Amino acid sequence: MPFGGSVAAGESIHRYHRRGGDPGDGLRDALADGAPSPEVAIIGGGAGGLAMAIQLQLAGCHTFTLFEKSDGVGGTWRDNSYPGSGCDVPSHLYSFSFASKADWTRKFPEQAEILDYFESLVPRFELGPHLRLETEITEVTWSEETGRWTLTTVQGSRHEADVVVSGLGQLNRPYIPDIPGLSEFEGTTFHSARWDHDHDLRGERVGVIGIGASAIQFVPRIAREARQLTLFQRSANYVGPKRDRPFRRIEKLAFTHLPFLQRAYRQWIYWRYEARFSLFKKNSRLGAYFQRMFTKLLQPMIETGDFTSEALVPDYPPGCRRILTASDWYPTLMQPHVSVVTEGVDKIGTRSIVTTDGVEHPVDTIIFGTGFATTEFLAPMKVTGRRGADLNEVWGGAARAYLGLSIPQFPNFFMLYGPNTNLGHNSILFMIEQQVAYTLSMLELMARRRLKAVDVTDVAMERYDQEIQELAGDTVWAEGCHSWYKNSEGRITNNWVSYTVDYRKRLSKIDLHDWDLEPV
Ligand code: NAP
C-alpha cells in the first residue's frame, strides 16, 4: 500500500469489512501490525464522546483522553434534569448497538435511566483512567510544524493530540432570549436545561416562555405544583400521544435471556421510525393527511371556546419543527389554572411578563423553555486550523461539514453530531455510531499509511454541501416555517436531509479522492 499522497483511480477503502465485527477491527489490526497508536483527544462526555471512547478502547487504541467540562458524563442527559425529562425515541433504540441494555424499565426512557445508562458505560468499558472531568476546552489549535493539535483548557493548561474528535453536538448551550427588563425581574428565573431543583414552585405563579420539546415534558409536571401557570407560546406544536408504559417482568426477562429477540425488537423500532422520514418531504401526502387529522382531532377543544385555533393548531406543515409526543399535554392545558398566551412577549416587569397587547401577567418565577443556541455548533470554543483559519469565521454562521464530520483546513479534526446530522424521525445514536465508525477507519488509514494529516478537499466539501442543500430544498424544513434547524438566512444547517440508511451508505466507505493525505 502506498504511503500517503497518490491514490489510484477508483481506489477506496471500506470500513468494517467483517460482518458482525466491531467498527474498530481495522484499526485494531493496524495496531497489531505495528502501526503507531494515534493520540486522540475527545471533547465532550455526552453520547458522541462516549461512543468514540468506547470504540477506541475496543479497538485496543488506548492512547486517548476524553475532556468533559462538567463533573460527570452523560451530556445533554446530565444537563436536562427537568421534571418529566425523557426521550421520545424508544429505549431499545436509544442505546448503542454495541452496548445494549436488556432491562430498560419503560418503553420510552426517562432522563434518570438514560443518564444511568451512559454513566454505566464508564466502568463497563473501563473508561475511567481516560476521563478528565471538570476540564473545559476553550481553544484547539493546529500546528503545521508538528502536525498536532494543542488543546487549551479554561484553566490555561495544555494538552497535545494527533487527532481531535468533538463530541459537543448541537444542543449544549441553553438559549435565553434577550427580553427587555429581564435583569430587573425580582422573582426567580432559570432555563429548562439548568433546572433549579432547590426552588419550590408550590403555590407560585409560574410563567413559561417557549413551548417546545422540553416544555411539553415539564409543563404537565409543574402544573401539579404551581398555583397559576401561564404558557407564553410563540408557535403551536403538533403533539401526538406517547404510547409509553413500563415493561412487564416477562418482557425484561425475554430481552435479557433471548438477545436475538431484543435485537429483532430494536430493528423493528428502527424501521418503523425510519419510515417516518417520508413525512419530511415537501408536499408529502402523508403530511397533508396528518395535518387534516390533527386539526380535526383538536376541533372539540377549540369549540369549547377556551382555546383559540392559533393556540392549538400549528400554521406550518407537520415535521417543519419536531413533532412532539406527550399524552398529558392537552389534559394539562384544560386545567383551570393553566392558560396559553399567544401574544408575543414584549418585556419583563419586576414581577410580571408583559405581552405586546399591553397585558401584564403576574408571575413569581419564569422558566425558559427556549431551547438552545444550535447553529453556532462548536462556539464558544475557538478552533484554529491551517494558516490561522478560525472555524467560526470560516463558517460565517453557515456551518457545514463533509459528511457532517470534517471541514477543509482543519486536518485530523472530526465532529460527531455535526452540521446536517440532526434527526427528527429516528435515533441520533444511530448517526453517531456511523460517524464513530468512519472516524475509526480514518484512524486506521492514518496508522497504516503513517500519515501526519488527513484533510478533506475543498472540492469534496463543495460537492457534498451542494448536494445536501439541494436535498434540503426538497424537505418540509425549506418551507416558510422557522425552526432551530436553520440559521438566520434560512439555510438548513442542522438536519440530515434523507433517510438514515442513506447516511449510513455514504459513510460506509472512505473515498480517498475526497481527502488530502499528508505523509509524515
Ligand atoms: P425548542 O423545541 O427549540 O423550543 C423552544 C421554544 O422556545 C420554541 O417554542 C420557540 O418558539 C420558543 N422561543 C424561542 N425564542 C423565543 C422568544 N424569544 N420568545 C418566545 N418564545 C421563544 O427547545 P427545547 O424544547 O429545549 O428542545 C430543543 C431540542 O431538544 C428539541 O428539538 C429536540 O431535538 C431536543 N429534545 C428532545 C427531546 C426528546 O424527547 N428526544 C426532549 C426534549 C428536547 P418558536 O417555535 O416560535 O421558535
319 lines ligand 1 (CB under 6 A): no
- Among the three residues 334, 350, 368, which one is the final residue of a domain in this structure? 368
Q: Among 424, 405, 423, which Cα is nearest to 510's?
A: 405
172 alpha carbon to ligand 1 midpoint, in Å? 13
Q: Do 399 and 503 have their domain in common?
A: yes
- Residue 39 resides in a domain: yes
What is the rounded CA–CA span in Å between residue 150 and residue 366? 41
Q: Give start and end residues of each alpha helix (H) in 125-214.
A: none
Cell numbers of 34, please?
Answer: 505495528
What is the rounded CA–CA span in Å between residue 338 and residue 460? 53
Q: Helices then strands (H, E): number in the chain?
A: 14, 23
Q: Among 79, 105, 84, 80, which Cα is nearest to 94's?
A: 105
Chain segment 474-495, per-residue pLDDT in tens: 999 998 788 899 998 999 999 9
The secondary structure element, H or E, covering residue 457 is none
Q: Among 503, 466, 471, 421, which Cα is nearest to 280's?
A: 471
397 lines ligand 1 (CB under 6 A): no
Q: Among 315, 379, 365, which Cα is nearest to 342's?
A: 315
210 lines ligand 1 (CB under 6 A): yes
Torsion angle defined by CA atoms of residues 52, 54, 57 and 62, in that order, rounded to the nearest 10 degrees: 50
What is the rounded CA–CA span in Å between residue 421 and residue 220? 30
Q: Do 50 and 126 have their domain in common?
A: yes
Choice from 88, 231, 234, 356 to test ligand 1 binding pocket (greatest atom count within 8 A of CB): 234
What is the rounded CA–CA span in Å between residue 155 and residue 463? 40
> Quick one: pLDDT at residue 11?
60
- Residue 406 resides in a domain: yes
- Among the three residues 368, 401, 425, which one is the final residue of a domain in this structure? 368
314 alpha carbon to ligand 1 midpoint, in Å? 14
Q: Do 204 and 156 have their domain in common?
A: no
Cell numbers of 138, please?
Answer: 476553550
Cell numbers of 321, please?
Answer: 419543527
Q: Do 401 and 441 have their domain in common?
A: yes
- Classify 120 as helix, strand or coil: helix
% helix / strand / coil in the chain, to the nearest 5?
Answer: 35, 20, 45
CB count within 10 Å of CB 416 equals: 29
For residue 229, give its domain range: 182-237+321-368
The secondary structure element, H or E, covering residue 453 is strand 451-456
N residues, the chain: 520
| Sole residue written with cell 490561522 | 388
**CATH code of 334's domain:** 3.50.50.60
| Sole residue written with cell 460517524 | 435
> Quick one: pLDDT at residue 218?
98
211 alpha carbon to ligand 1 midpoint, in Å? 6
Cell numbers of 235, please?
Answer: 408557535
Cell numbers of 197, please?
Answer: 431543583
What is the rounded CA–CA span in Å between residue 170 and residue 485? 10
Q: Do 137 and 215 have their domain in common?
A: no
Q: Do 158 and 232 have their domain in common?
A: no
> Quick one: pLDDT at residue 240?
95
What are 354's strand-pairing partners? Answer: 347, 360
Task: Give the closest residue (by CA) to ligand 1 atom 27.
Answer: 213
- Residue 264 resides in a domain: no
Q: Do 450 and 352 have their domain in common?
A: no
What is the rounded CA–CA span in Å between residue 28 and residue 41? 18
- Residue 396 resides in a domain: yes
- Residue 196 resides in a domain: yes
Q: Do 332 and 430 have their domain in common?
A: no
64-67 and 131-132 strand pairing: parallel
> Quick one: pLDDT at residue 12?
67
- Residue 472 resides in a domain: yes
- Over its length of 520 residues, how does the chain's per-residue pLDDT go in tens digits? 333 444 444 566 655 444 457 889 999 999 999 999 999 999 999 999 999 999 999 999 999 999 999 999 999 999 999 999 999 999 999 999 999 999 999 999 999 999 999 999 999 999 999 999 999 999 999 999 999 999 999 999 999 999 999 999 888 899 999 999 999 999 999 999 999 999 999 999 999 999 999 999 999 999 999 999 999 999 999 999 999 999 999 999 999 999 999 999 999 999 999 999 999 999 999 899 999 999 999 999 999 988 999 999 999 999 999 999 999 999 999 999 999 999 999 999 999 999 999 999 999 999 999 999 888 888 889 999 999 999 999 999 899 999 999 999 999 999 999 999 999 999 999 999 999 999 999 999 999 999 999 999 999 999 999 999 999 999 999 987 888 999 989 999 999 999 999 999 999 999 999 999 999 8
214 lines ligand 1 (CB under 6 A): yes
453 lines ligand 1 (CB under 6 A): no
Q: Which residues of 14-23 are buried (b: 16+ CB within 10 A; e: fewer)?
A: ebbeeeeebb
Could you list the beta-strand ranges (E) of 314-449: 324-325, 338-341, 345-348, 352-355, 360-362, 365-368, 382-384, 413-415
Could you list the beta-strand ranges (E) of 187-250: 188-191, 205-209, 228-232, 239-240
50 lines ligand 1 (CB under 6 A): no
379 alpha carbon to ligand 1 midpoint, in Å? 19
Q: Among 417, 446, 469, which Cα is nearest to 515's?
A: 446
Q: Do 349 and 408 have their domain in common?
A: no
Number of domains forming the structure of the chain: 2
Q: What is the DSSP string of 423-450?
A: -SSS-HHHHHHHHHHHHHHHHHHHHHTT
Q: Do 495 and 403 have their domain in common?
A: yes
What are 190's strand-pairing partners? Answer: 367
Task: Give the closest residue (by CA) to ligand 1 atom 23.
Answer: 371
211 lines ligand 1 (CB under 6 A): yes
Q: What is the pTM of this model?
A: 0.95
484 lines ligand 1 (CB under 6 A): yes
- Residue 448 resides in a domain: yes
Q: Do 360 and 211 have their domain in common?
A: yes
Q: Do 465 and 431 have their domain in common?
A: yes
Strands of the sheet with 148-153, listed across from one edge: 158-161, 148-153, 137-143, 382-384
Q: Which atom of ligand 1 is found nearest the CA of 211?
A: 9
- Residue 268 resides in a domain: no
> Quick one: pLDDT at residue 22?
82
132 alpha carbon to ligand 1 midpoint, in Å? 31
What is the rounded CA–CA span in Å between residue 328 and residue 322? 18
Cell numbers of 164, please?
Answer: 481531535
- Among the three residues 340, 368, 396, which one is the final residue of a domain in this structure? 368
Could you list the beta-strand ranges (E) of 233-379: 239-240, 324-325, 338-341, 345-348, 352-355, 360-362, 365-368
